[in-house]
Amino acid sequence: MRGLRRVGGVLRVRGSAREARGSAWEARGSAREGGGSARKARGFRVSRLGVLAAVGAVLVGTVLAGASLGLFAPGGPEAPPGGVRAGGAGVPEGLAGPAARAAAGVEAGAGASARDLAALIADREAWLRGHPDDHLSWAVLGTAYAERGARAGAPAAYPAAERALRRSLEARPAAEGNTAAVLGMGELALARGDFAAVRRWAEEARRRQPGAWRAEALLVDAHRGLGDDAAAGKALERLRKLRPTGAAALARVVELYRDRGWREDAAAVAHDAVARARTPAERAAALRRLGDLAWERGYAREALGRYEAALRAVPGDAPALAGRARALAALDRAEEALAVYAAAWKARPLPEYALEAGDLYAALERPAKARERYGAAAVAAERAAAHGVNQALAVGRYEAGHGDPGRAVEVLRAEWRRGHRSADTADALGWALLRAGEAREALPYVRAATERGVRSALFAYHRGEVERALGREGAARRHLEEALRINPHFSPLYAPAARRSLAELGEPSAGPPEG
């Protein structure tokens, strides 16, 4: 691959949102196994892995598949009355009720409820009106703002989060022990999808406070986003030593195992996370992961049950709503699916939710509705980028499927050059190159996406179409068949397209194998 060098900066979307045109894009489809009885996961092994990028928060990941940060209020070595401590200090004096529960969640590595998070924000805002030089409370407030923005899909909260965190660093610099603000800046960078910045802040926190488990959790996410497999594995090993059964560690174990294709191990750890969950938010997140594992393997009915269980734990949970919509669509319950997509969008207006709903409308031959959803996705990505959120994947996929494939190539090449070399980025860039008529140049990227361990129906489909465009019929047939084996319902548009492509290829010839 050429022109691969790292550059700085965060993608900003240029121009107004276009109306969608051309063939549609399906946001996700990586295949994982979620069925079977839970068994003990084998010891951590280092091998190549794929990675989810934070889509939309991603992303964001969600950055971990749409989850919130879960690390919203890291503390420092000491706290004033009403401040938040870390490192075994428990809940300090001055906090009570929901704010105290939120602080206790920080200590345990658990996500707080939305109500408790709001109470903590109100408590720190009131405290800071009378104590404007309290660096620790500014750090708590900034990271809480970032968490609230990530949960709500409201990137307009991020500038306020950054101002609060920088105010904390002005009151006490990192060199003087303000690890709380350093970690908060890392979590804000994660919410924005800037993985290089996440790594920088997390490494600084680790230097300042050795043994800080939150720094190791951030390093896992950063290295996954950058495609650094070995470093992600090492960071996870350190995290597991510090927090062997914590929710943050278990979530990342599941993600890395599924990236490596260790399906049963990922499911076993996810089952363990459900059993160990101490809060409704933890339980919902673990159940969502089980739903994702089942969905990505093609078990739509099992996935539906998992997502509905997650929604019983946390009603209105946006990632669980989106997962439920996917499963309903796969079960031929399209009208229900569209209603649930609308609920997910209302709860958290992420571009991928609108894109997926648009694809379903397009599959139902309702082009006006599809265009409206694609346009909403473009506008959401543009607004997020205006607040510093990296929207390269969302913009690249939108442009490749519904806008200007050349623009998609430009955006995704820039993402690759800045060091964001996850399997998702490789796949999206390869697909954009194919859509732009550069099938030969696309091949190394789709190969990189499919050969890193992750089993993804969407990745296999994209590789099959690239190979078909290059006349590699045998390889194309294998990968198109693989996509449908992994998940026969991976996209309401592209699963049928894979079947049509296979029909056009016909039966394999009796000639010699391809070289």
pLDDT digits (tens, 9 = 90+) for 367-379: 999 999 999 999 9
Q: Chain-centre distance of CA 337, in angstroms? A: 21
- pLDDT number for residue 84: 38
Q: What is the mean pLDDT of residues 297-319?
A: 97
Among candidate residues 319, 403, 503, the one with its CA nearest the CA of residue 24: 403
SS3 (DSSP) at 77: coil
Count up the domains in the chain and report the number.
Answer: 1
65: left (phi over 0), alpha (psi -120 to 50) or beta: left
> Is the pLDDT at 43 greater than 50, yes or no?
no
> Is the pLDDT at 302 greater than 50, yes or no?
yes
> Is the pLDDT at 58 greater than 80, yes or no?
no
- pLDDT number for residue 188: 97
Quickly list H helices, 348-493.
351-363, 367-386, 392-402, 405-417, 423-435, 439-450, 457-469, 473-486
Is residue 171 included in any domain, yes or no?
A: yes
Residues 322 and 455: their CA atoms lie apart, in Å, by: 21
Is residue 233 included in any domain, yes or no?
A: yes
Residues 426 and 207: their CA atoms lie apart, in Å, by: 32
- pLDDT number for residue 108: 53
Is residue 206 included in any domain, yes or no?
A: yes
- pLDDT number for residue 139: 92
Is residue 119 included in any domain, yes or no?
A: yes
- pLDDT number for residue 69: 55
Q: What is the mean pLDDT of residues 322-334?
A: 98
pLDDT class of 500 with cuts at 50, 70, 90: very high
> Is the pLDDT at 138 greater than 50, yes or no?
yes
HSE value, Cβ hemisphere, 13 Å, CA-based, for 291:
27
Non-local CB neighbours of 350 within 8 Å, separated by 6+ positions? 55, 56, 57, 58, 59, 66, 153, 318, 380
Is residue 159 included in any domain, yes or no?
A: yes
- pLDDT number for residue 67: 40
Is residue 255 included in any domain, yes or no?
A: yes
Question: What tens digit of pLDDT does each residue of 193-251 get?
Answer: 999 999 999 999 999 999 999 999 999 999 999 999 889 999 999 999 999 888 889 99
Residue 188's domain comprises 67-261
Mean pLDDT of the chain: 83
> Is the pLDDT at 59 greater than 90, yes or no?
no
SS3 (DSSP) at 55: coil
Non-local CB neighbours of 463 within 8 Å, separated by 6+ positions? 430, 446, 447, 449, 450, 479
Count of C-beta atoms within a 10 Å radius of residue 380: 25
- CATH at 126: 1.25.40.10
- pLDDT number for residue 94: 60
pTM of the model: 0.81
Q: What is the mean pLDDT of residues 440-446?
A: 98
Q: What is the mean pLDDT of residues 105-121?
A: 73
Is residue 183 included in any domain, yes or no?
A: yes
Is residue 173 included in any domain, yes or no?
A: yes
Name, of 8-12, 49-53, 491-495, the range with top average pLDDT.
491-495
- pLDDT number for residue 55: 32
> Is the pLDDT at 24 greater than 50, yes or no?
no
Residues 395 and 368: their CA atoms lie apart, in Å, by: 21
Q: What is the mean pLDDT of residues 446-463?
A: 95
